[in-house]
Chains A and B, each alone.
Chain A
Amino acid sequence: MPSQVPVLYANRDTVVDRRDPRVKLLLLVLLFAYVFVAPTAQWMLIPVVAGLVTAVLARTPWRWVAVLWSIHIPTFIALILIGGWSSVTAGDWGGVVDAAEAEMRLVLAWTATILVSLSVFSAIDPDDTARGLRGIGLPAQAAFAVGLSYRLLYTTLTEAIQTSEHLKLRGVRLEIRHPVRFVRDALLVSLPVLFAVVRRGPTLMATMRMRGFATDPQLGRPGAADVVVLATALAVLVAAVLARWGPLPDTLLG
């Protein structure tokens, strides 16, 4: 019976899917630079909105967005509580609100990263990721290693699903309603999964040695729309840099 593995990417042939993989990967690089240089929460709203627009255009499954964002809620709360800890202990809730405002830049940065990454990766064929990386100058071996790590990730997921089913039949219950026991049981699953992946290592390596791997990404020239998207993203990044360290005011959007 074929394995059922959850996969983020599905080719929906949207405007985002049709973009050059090199451009999508460069956008991610620019985003990671941007979240460090954006001077204020207002500036950080730009990638959040851009991420939302991209998610809509790419028709990114909203469940993925909701799940990935919601599992960061404890982190957001912790950030705010740590920032306003003295106010919390003093019972000064106004101080906590101030702390929340102060930490908003970080919360938005996190949200933007989730939105943009998800919407880009839901619209980039994993096979194209290695080619895109090679296309933006990563050495062939490193680009291939990234592609292979995708393959191993899904192999591991497949193994994990199968192994957990097999171990259920041997008395490992894996019930989420008992979190402590679940974590302990999950560790029991991890060992055979590790063995299975390690056992497959030599076969995979032998296969790659026989078949070789592509060094030429064969992607051709990016289209005009790709150039426009990239130029816009670059311009926003430059503006943020200028707002933080240059002549532009950091309240430009205020």
Chain B
Amino acid sequence: MSIRVDDLTFHYPASDLPALDGVTFQVDHGQVVGLVGPPGSGKTTLCLALAGLVPGVTGGRLSGRVELTAEDDATDGDAPVGIVFEDPGGQLTQLRVLSEVADPLRTRGRTPEDAEAEARRLLERVGLPGEELARRWVWELSEGQQVLLALAATLAIRPRVLVLDTVMGHLDPGHRGELLRIIREEAGRRTVLLVEQDAGVLVDLADRLLVLTDGAVSAQGDLQELLADERVQQAADLDPPAPLHAARRLGLPGRPLTDVQFGAAVGRIGADHPGARPPATGSPKGRAEPAWAGEPARIQVREVDFAYPDRSPALRGVSLEVRPGEVHAVMGPTGAGKSTLVKLLAGLLRPVAGQVVVDDQDTADVHPADLALRVATLPQGAAQTLSQRRVRDEIAYSLRRRRRTEELDARVDIARRLVGLPQDLLDADPILLPNAHRRLVALAAALVVEPTVVVLDAPFSGMGPGARRRLTATMSELRDRGTTVLMTEHDAEAVAEVADTVTVLDHGAVALQGPTRDVFGARHHEQLGLRRLALPRAGALARTIGLEACTLDDLVGLLAGAPSTPAPNGATPSRPDAGSAV
């Protein structure tokens, strides 16, 4: 199906500013188009408009034209547009996994048996196989699984235009791989609109790029050309693809967007270049001791077991330590036990066996509300629980609640600056902010108590480049202040950028533990792959040219012949079991 949009303008109810402002573009049948733009630029509104859902669902005023033209071989039962939305659970209309996919099929006249058989096939296709999974309640799935379920239900209506609205961020590398595979399969068969801020994904999948800024199209055209344009990157809040970023920093010729193109560009600088020789790895010699190496641990998890009421074990014999000024990342596939660990650290759960001590306090002996004054925890979904009328009240809430109102405005401002939230948002209604801003507000609200320990559950997942840069800066600032930080994350890129040390969990047990560089080192690539964990982009890029690197700085340093820069997260801890498989 081809899409033609002419001068589309839309105002939400009671808003004078247009959410879409004269949007005009055209997409041919079978193309995969990347739709990018900063938070609040109108991407989701445009998707809704394509599906004919504005103003019907949203209210408001719409003018202009959306024309969807079906190709000759289209089937009558096919839906014109199907959207997989950003909110994983909010788009599931049934109670059970199987019904979620079978119901749209029954709606289209399939018999119950036929619909269930087709639903099972679709579930298997998106990577959710098995009878046990099919019979589960939808809220029992992880966010990544919910996204894949929504995709299966959307594919069940056979949409001629498939829209994926910012869904990659919810997925662990395994589920992400499933989704990328499906989009590749669907490309050419359907028109695909991919709302995504990850340039690497766009390079991998999309043919064209459409950039929205303040509700208007600020650029559109060939993906390769636009992604290489710095003005477009800035307008779209996009980071350049890793190969292009590395090439620019190295002063390489051309505009390599893929690993292969980068390899070719590097090949041209000569095999005798210092970077062409793989560096020695695994030895801490020559690296500086991190400042926190000799400090006593402020987070101590000792041989912890935990099981939920259905007796399914969530953690088994987990031990880890984190020191002041250290940023520790806990990685692992869906169901590894990451969020359970966060709840144990926050005192929301108590271990079945073992001990969790945070800032010299056994978390089993204290109410979570009291512990939170020293241990700021940001669980997943915290941004959905904002309820105050202004951002400044939301940030101040924890202090007001505990009657600690001295220098309140100053402390709110410190927290705001720490997370990089623009000052002009302080009087905004947090409920109406874009998701990325809401998450920064939730983070500021957690940090306002000036904690000694910070625990963050998947803070980078689903964040755009701008918000990621702010969050990276926040982590760096917390490290400099000597705050102990533990974060769970499945985004290897973020872990490589900010974490000093890493624990990899698998089925509730520690599988790998050590300094970030060692965990991502060549000797662990196979183990990471088996657990469906990705390497950081720079690491994967380096691997294609026979090098070993963790961050872009490492790669550029290697290829430029300079020694790798250990700071801020390259310091080697002094643990005897550093970097070991467990």
Contacts and interface: CB of A to CB of B under 8 A. Distances in A.
Interface hub of A5, A170, A206 (most chain B Cβ within 10 A)? A170
A165 B379 contact: yes
Nearest to A168: B368
A22 to B, nearest CB: 15
Contacts of A188: 387
A214 B57 CA distance: 20
Interface stretch (B93-101, B169-177, B273-281, B286-294): B93-101
Interface in A26-83: none
A150 interface: yes
Interface string B149-167: 0100110110100000000
B140 interface: yes
A214 B139 contact: no
Contacts of A195: 386-387, 431
Interface residues of B, number: 68
A-side interface size class: 35 or more
B21 interface: no
Contacts, number: 164
A155 B381 CA distance: 14
Interface string B381-393: 1101111000000
Given A165-B379, A169-B369, A195-B431, A206 B139 contact: no
Nearest to A207: B91
Contacts of B523: none
B428 interface: no
Contacts of B431: 195, 199
Interface string B428-460: 000100000000000001100000000000000
Given A210-B157, A211-B153, A213-B103, A170 B397 contact: yes
B368 to A, nearest CB: 5
A155 B51 CA distance: 25
B96 A5 contact: no
B137 A5 contact: yes
Q: Most chain-A CB neighbours within 10 Å: which of B369, B380, B431?
A: B369
The dominant DSSP class at the B interface is: mixed
Given A199-B431, A202-B57, A172 B385 contact: no
Contacts of A126: 95
A218 interface: yes
Nearest to A167: B385
B387 A203 contact: no
Interface stretch (B105-113, B184-192, B211-219, B318-326): B105-113
A2 B372 contact: no
A12 interface: no
A154 B402 contact: no
B91 A2 contact: no
Determine chain A's interface SS by DSSP, over half rule.
helix
Nearest to A200: B90
A95 interface: no
B56 A209 contact: yes
Contacts of B348: 165, 168-169
Interface string A188-211: 100110011001101111111111
B340 A1 contact: yes
Interface in B67-108: 79, 81-83, 85, 87, 89-96, 99, 103-104, 106-108
A151 B94 contact: yes
B309 interface: yes
B580 interface: no
Contact of A191 (B91, B379, B380, B387): B387
B58 interface: yes
A171 B95 contact: no
Nearest to A127: B99
A5 B140 CA distance: 8
B140 A2 contact: yes
A7 interface: yes
Nearest to A162: B381
A155 B140 CA distance: 11
A1 B458 CA distance: 11
Interface string B321-357: 0000000000000000011100100101000000000
Nearest to B80: A210
Nearest to A152: B93
Contacts of B338: 1
B48 interface: yes
Interface of B: 48, 51, 53, 56-58, 79, 81-83, 85, 87, 89-96, 99, 103-104, 106-108, 111-112, 135, 137, 139-142, 150, 153-154, 156-157, 159, 308-309, 338-340, 343, 346, 348, 367-369, 372, 377, 379-382, 384-387, 397-398, 401-402, 431, 445-446
28 contacts: A1-B338, A1-B340, A1-B380, A2-B142, A3-B139, A127-B96, A147-B94, A148-B93, A163-B385, A169-B372, A169-B446, A171-B398, A188-B387, A199-B384, A199-B431, A200-B90, A206-B83, A206-B91, A207-B83, A210-B51, A210-B81, A211-B93, A211-B107, A212-B104, A212-B107, A214-B103, A214-B107, A218-B111
Given A168-B367, A207-B91, A211-B153, 4 more contacts: A162-B379, A169-B372, A211-B156, A213-B107
Report, nearest first, the 3 A-B pairs whose CB atoms are least far apart. Answer: A1-B339, A171-B401, A200-B90
Interface of A: 1-5, 7, 11, 125-127, 147-148, 150-151, 154-155, 158-159, 162-163, 165-173, 175, 188, 191-192, 195-196, 199-200, 202-216, 218
